[in-house]
Amino acid sequence: MADDERSIEPELLAAAIEVQANAHVPYSQFHVGAAIRTRTGRIFTSCNVENAAYPQSVCAEAGAISAMVSGGERLIDAIVTVCEGDALATSCGGCRQKIREFADEHTMIYAAGPDGIRKAYTMAELLPDSFGPDNLGVGRSGPSSS
């Protein structure tokens, strides 16, 4: 499926853009916002939060996943991340694995910039041959696990 054949609801992109403004990035100045839509249609958002002790920083995707889990959801239908600048910015390796924990191969991941969606991926495209809960024989629990 070509990128232009994949659509995203404007509200998911708008939610990521809105939360991006709240990013705490005094060191990198790299504002990131993320919005997750679950299979039940709920939206959860977060932004990146840096810390002077760099390893303690939190990526926007990780924060949105934590909000989703705290809200009782367990399955990501789509996630969009918004970053500044001209370059295509996708989720870091750690966040790809965090997304995979709550995704299946059809979950959509959108990378966006100030101009809108720049690239769309399925989970299988972004993290091919991934390792996840199903490799350990574990199912998901929660309202969006079916």
| Residues marked as catalytic | 61
The token pair at 86 is: 């001209």
Question: Is residue 135 classed as helix, strand or coil in its secondary structure?
Answer: helix
In whole angstroms, give the CA distance from residue 85 to residue 76: 26
The token pair at 134 is: 């199903």
Cβ neighbours, 10 Å, residue 57? 16
